[in-house]
Structure 1
């Protein structure tokens, strides 16, 4: 998911440099949403790993 966020960020930067501000804003928004989803999933899996790993000890 972070890979897709980075891809959309690069598209946003290139579109911004070429003057396509609408496309740049849209892809930046998509990249931001994907980044936040990836962070939330990371935290969920981290908590799950600590809970399950703690129960096994």
Structure 2
């Protein structure tokens, strides 16, 4: 499930980066997803 969320966020980030659409928001969401992923990996 987490891999699906990460891959979707990466795809949205790439599209946003290429077309410069809502770049700041996508970067913030990507950072939040990365923090959650790292926290989940450290707990298991």
User: In which range does the TM-score fall when normalised by the shorter chain?
Assistant: 0.5 to 0.7
Instruction: Give the count of matched residue pairs.
Output: 42
Q: How far is 1:37 from its partner? A: 3.9
Q: Which runs of 4+ in 1 moved over 3 A?
A: none
Unmatched segments (≥5 aa) in structure 1: 45-57
TM-score computed with the length of structure 2 as normaliser: 0.59
Q: Which has the larger radius of gyration?
A: 1
Root mean square deviation of aligned Cα: 1.9
Unmatched segments (≥5 aa) in structure 2: none
TM-score computed with the length of structure 1 as normaliser: 0.51
